[in-house]
Structure 1
Amino acid sequence: MVQGDLTQQEWTVLQDLNAQHKRIFLVLNKQDRYLPEQVKLVLEQLKLRVKGVVAAEDIVAIATSPQPIKVQRHQADGSYQETWETPQPQIQPLLDRMHAVATQEVNQLVLQRAYQQTLALQQEIQTQLNRIRRDRAMPILERYQWIAAGIAFANPLPSLDMVATAAITGKMIQELAEVYCIKLSLDRATEIAGVLVKTLIQMGLVEASSQVLSAVLKGNMVTYVAGGALQGVGAAYFTRMAGLSLMELFEAHWTSDAGWQLDSTVLSRIVQRIFQQHQRIDMVKDLAQQTLRRLRPEGWSTVDPVPAHG
């Protein structure tokens, strides 16, 4: 329902409804505020604007709450009295069109309803399937997460850029893809790993994450005892973020492995969102605690290795 020419927001809503294969009635309300010639002009403009989205015959003008009008009532003595009266709502054109559609296109409406139910069922199946696949993928991700942490801890690298590069492996990507029925050669998976690392660095996420990780580990005695602590935690963190990003990317391709292609733009958006969701101090601290517990040699202090935030 509109009150004049379409706004951008209204046009977006129409496009969304059309994409869902909904039957759309476009209603011009408050036609009483226009002259008859103006109503005709606005309707013609709307028909041109929504051509291909809304059928011309499904665009009607009504007035649900007409404005009061001044009425003169002449008296027997020749005088007159002015009063304000509110006209009845003018919605008959919409009722007539809806009745015509219900009468003439009932079979099409039934099929459309069945189609909508099929789409909803398909979405539910996809959601359930992705939940099952995620349950299978998480142990794989965590295994590579701890492997990367152990390697980085034992062999510290000069920078976290290099830690991220070493942590995100083609083998992990290949195994995760297989869970989602996407077959990747090791060479292709390694290529994707390179794209992912490049994306992290170009978006400044490695640098931003290093600041968060350093803040979490700052003042920690373990950091001084074991110089590779930051690298170990960083490797676990980057592996986890990369894996979660790829899992979300793979979830969108759930029917088969045919023709799967990496969309770098979509990957960048997902990576940005995943990192934003997992840069809260409490979440990073929890991962750091888990990592350091796994890396702590026998005989290290059992005191909580990460200082409380604040």
Structure 2
Amino acid sequence: MNFTPSWSRQKIWLGVGIAGAAAIANALFGLEHDWHLLSIMTVAAGGSLLLVNVRRSWANVIEQPQEHSRDALARELQRVQQLSLKIGDEDLRTQVQNRAAAIALNLQKNHFQIVVFGTGSAGKTSVINALLDRAVGKTDPAIGTTSARQEYRYLDHNQKSNQKSNQKFKRQISLVDTSGIQEMGQLGRQREGVAIQDAQNADLLVFVTAGDLTNTEYQELERLARLGKRLILAFNKTDLYLPSDRQLILEQLQNHTKSFLQAINIVAIAAKPNPIKVRQYANPDLGNLGITELALQEWWEELPADVMSLKERIESILSNEWEDLLIQNTHLQIAGLLQEIESAINQQRRQDAKVIIQRYQAIAATTVFANPIPALDLLAGAAINTQMLMDLAKVYERPLNWSQAQQYAMIIAQNLLQLGCVEVATSAIATCFKVNALTYAIGGSMQAFTAAYLTHIGGMSFVEYLETQPQAISVDNQTWQNICQKTFSGFKSDRFFMNLVSSLSFSQA
């Protein structure tokens, strides 16, 4: 929570400081010279330390990150519902509202999801089976065995005892098995997209690898860590390695992920160890001597799964961080949903903005064509551009008066001049005239088309500003240059000029 001392509080502190300084000064004047000097130095040093401590205290309060709570999440979900009403697409609006309702229901049920994620051959389903201590999913060495998302209820002994002793939180904990990443073909890419979405929604993510990380695995793991995901990296199939090689791979994993993952969250497991061959002899002594002809029978014996280190790490996190992770992940899901809503609303707004810009660029072209001027001057269309910016601001629900709109129009015009947009537009449109018989014959058309083009660039630059800049924050000239340069570069192609000339030629004809 941000904290800024009010002006009244500052006046109180100022008054106290002045009164204290006056009292100290009055006492100091009655002392001898040496004591006077010593006292002044002591008071100055003490005051400096006090000021530093107060500044540090205020800085700590100001820099303290905002804490999320269930009440805060409820307010965020209300904001989602309010913003979703602005979505024009009914199907998309319904989809967003359903997702928001699902998030609210999961939070109400305290539904905690542990998602097992990784490549198709890393043994994700085997890890699920080992954690549940029963076979619930099909396992196979081939990639793509898990073709769809599977969810299983997960409860360990500690969680059972916690539920009996604390009825306040009835936890619903599930293990989610996902399709693997790096699968081939269009279907594989679709499954991978679903798996990545599940990973992003996870409250706790178990990333399974069968050795040192590939480049794809590392990039995906790092990206999920940047999202704020709580990660456990499980090095599976350790039974296939010699002890020395196993330790080397563990060290490599720790070294490669040390920038975003603690070593305690990297565990070595063998979810489904390879079976070993067992021979039974009639006389054990003969078997020890290497006489195999007397063996009665042979068979492959399955070894128990070794996932205790993973279980202990999961249980530790569930015991100490369960509520915080659930709230944090719910906040991330809501933030992602809000971003999607804002994107959808901006897409609608951009379509409306384009209609407005096309109308004003036609007005600008008609005005200049009706009253041609010897030299092109962007300021001549200032009134048209100012009104256009005000209409665009209304579409984006941003308050803007005439004076502010006029100032923005001037800034945009100046930047377009500095970028050389006038020269480029004049040259390009003149070239387009040569292939258009109608515009070639119309005098003064170049100025009209150039005015329309610059109105278009100015309007789209302002749209870019409205979509990317926060409200109530002034933008420096360098930022405006970047915005205008980006917009200008996007509409610099010959095809754009040809379409512009053709459309305005038809309207003027």
TM-score interval for Structure 1 and Structure 2 normalised by the shorter chain: 0.5 to 0.7
Q: Within 5 Å, give how 1:194-273 maps onto structure 2.
A: 194-199=414-419, 201=421, 207=424, 211=428, 217-254=433-470, 256-261=471-476, 263=479, 267=483, 270-271=486-487
Deviations 1:61-94 (A, max 9, x none): 345677x799696876734599999977765543
Q: Within 5 Å, give how 1:157-196 maps onto structure 2.
A: 171=386, 174-175=389-390, 178-179=393-394, 180=396, 181=398, 184=404, 186-187=406-407, 189-196=409-416
Q: CA shift at 1:16, angstroms?
A: 2.9
Give the whole-Å Cα distance in 1 for the aligned partners of 2:426 and 2:239. 60
Aligned to 2:243: 36
Aligned to 1:291: 504
Aligned to 1:4: 212
SS of aligned partner of 1:60: strand
Aligned to 1:307: none
The 1:10/1:190 distance shift into structure 2, 3 A limit, reads farther
The 1:127/1:200 distance shift into structure 2, 3 A limit, reads farther
Give the whole-Å Cα distance in 1 for the aligned partners of 2:334 and 2:214. 31
Q: Within 5 Å, give how 1:28-107 maps onto structure 2.
A: 28-32=235-239, 34-51=241-258, 53-62=260-269, 78-79=290-291, 93-107=309-323
SS of aligned partner of 1:25: strand
Q: Which of the residues 331, 337, 342 maps onto 1:126?
A: 342
Give the whole-Å Cα distance in 1 for the aligned partners of 2:305 and 2:420. 59
Give the whole-Å Cα distance in 1 for the aligned partners of 2:267 and 2:426. 56
Give the whole-Å Cα distance in 1 for the aligned partners of 2:303 and 2:452. 71
SS of aligned partner of 1:26: strand
CA-atom RMSD in angstroms: 4.6
SS of aligned partner of 2:231: coil
The 1:265/1:217 distance shift into structure 2, 3 A limit, reads closer
User: Match for 1:102: what amino acid?
Assistant: L
The 1:133/1:275 distance shift into structure 2, 3 A limit, reads same
Question: TM-score normalized by structure 2?
Answer: 0.43
Q: CA shift at 1:41, angstroms?
A: 3.6
The 1:41/1:294 distance shift into structure 2, 3 A limit, reads same
Give the whole-Å Cα distance in 1 for the aligned partners of 2:229 and 2:257. 14
Question: TM-score normalized by structure 1?
Answer: 0.65
Deviations 1:74-126 (A, max 9, x none): 87673459999997776554344334433443212221232123213422442
The 1:153/1:36 distance shift into structure 2, 3 A limit, reads farther
Whether 1:16 aligns to 2:223 is yes
The 1:104/1:260 distance shift into structure 2, 3 A limit, reads same
Give the whole-Å Cα distance in 1 for the aligned partners of 2:485 and 2:245. 46
Give the whole-Å Cα distance in 2 for the aligned partners of 1:163 and 1:93. 74
**Is the Cα–Cα contact under 8 Å of residues 27 and 60 in structure 1 kept in the other structure?**
yes
**Is the Cα–Cα contact under 8 Å of residues 388 and 459 in structure 2 kept in the other structure?**
yes
The 1:257/1:221 distance shift into structure 2, 3 A limit, reads same
Deviations 1:31-70 (A, max 9, x none): 445432343343334334433522332222345677x799
Q: CA shift at 1:137, angstroms?
A: 3.6
**Is the Cα–Cα contact under 8 Å of residues 236 and 269 in structure 2 kept in the other structure?**
yes
More divergent stretch after superposition (100-109 vs 172-181) = 172-181
SS of aligned partner of 2:342: helix
User: Match for 1:4: what amino acid?
Assistant: D
Larger Rg: 2
Give the whole-Å Cα distance in 1 for the aligned partners of 2:272 and 2:485. 45
Give the whole-Å Cα distance in 1 for the aligned partners of 2:388 and 2:219. 37
Aligned to 1:141: 357
Q: How many residues align?
A: 283
User: Match for 1:98: what amino acid?
Assistant: I
Higher-RCO chain (CA-CA 8 Å, sequence separation at least 6): 1
User: Match for 1:291: what amino acid?
Assistant: L
Give the whole-Å Cα distance in 1 for the aligned partners of 2:312 and 2:339. 35
More divergent stretch after superposition (175-184 vs 36-45) = 175-184
More divergent stretch after superposition (264-273 vs 221-230) = 264-273
**Is the Cα–Cα contact under 8 Å of residues 170 and 190 in structure 1 kept in the other structure?**
no
**Is the Cα–Cα contact under 8 Å of residues 379 and 410 in structure 2 kept in the other structure?**
no
Whether 1:116 aligns to 2:332 is yes
More divergent stretch after superposition (170-179 vs 113-122) = 170-179
More divergent stretch after superposition (101-110 vs 43-52) = 43-52
The 1:72/1:124 distance shift into structure 2, 3 A limit, reads closer
**Is the Cα–Cα contact under 8 Å of residues 145 and 239 in structure 1 kept in the other structure?**
yes
Give the whole-Å Cα distance in 1 for the aligned partners of 2:277 and 2:431. 76
**Is the Cα–Cα contact under 8 Å of residues 69 and 85 in structure 1 kept in the other structure?**
yes
Deviations 1:136-168 (A, max 9, x none): 64454234312332355453778xxx6889879
**Is the Cα–Cα contact under 8 Å of residues 62 and 93 in structure 1 kept in the other structure?**
yes
SS of aligned partner of 2:267: strand
Deviations 1:4-35 (A, max 9, x none): 1563x544434432332222222334544543
Unaligned runs of 5+ in 1: 297-310
The 1:188/1:96 distance shift into structure 2, 3 A limit, reads same
